[in-house]
């Protein structure tokens, strides 16, 4: 599972598919968890990519 910003959502999807050979679920991060940063940069995370 990856948490990512808008800029890196494509990268997270590609990495998830490469690792699991399955399509990921893509969800918006709730307001309660909005303080998290992207796994790939320091930007605010917007999406959770994974199952």
Q: Which residues form the domain of 15?
A: 2-50
Q: How many domains does the chain have?
A: 1
Q: Report pLDDT for 51.
A: 85
Give the chain's mean pLDDT. 93
What's the mean pLDDT in 21-31? 92
35, pLDDT greater than 90: no
DSSP string, 1-51: -EEE-STTHHHHHHHHHHHHSSPPEEEEPPGGGTT-B-SSSSSBP-EEEE-
The reported pTM is 0.87
26, pLDDT greater than 70: yes
């Amino acid at each position: 599972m990856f948490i990512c910003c808008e800029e890196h959502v494509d990268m997270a999807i590609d990495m998830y598919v490469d690792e699991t050979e399955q399509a990921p679920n893509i969800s918006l991060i709730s307001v309660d968890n909005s303080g998290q940063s992207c796994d790939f940069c320091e930007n605010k995370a917007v999406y959770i990519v994974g199952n």
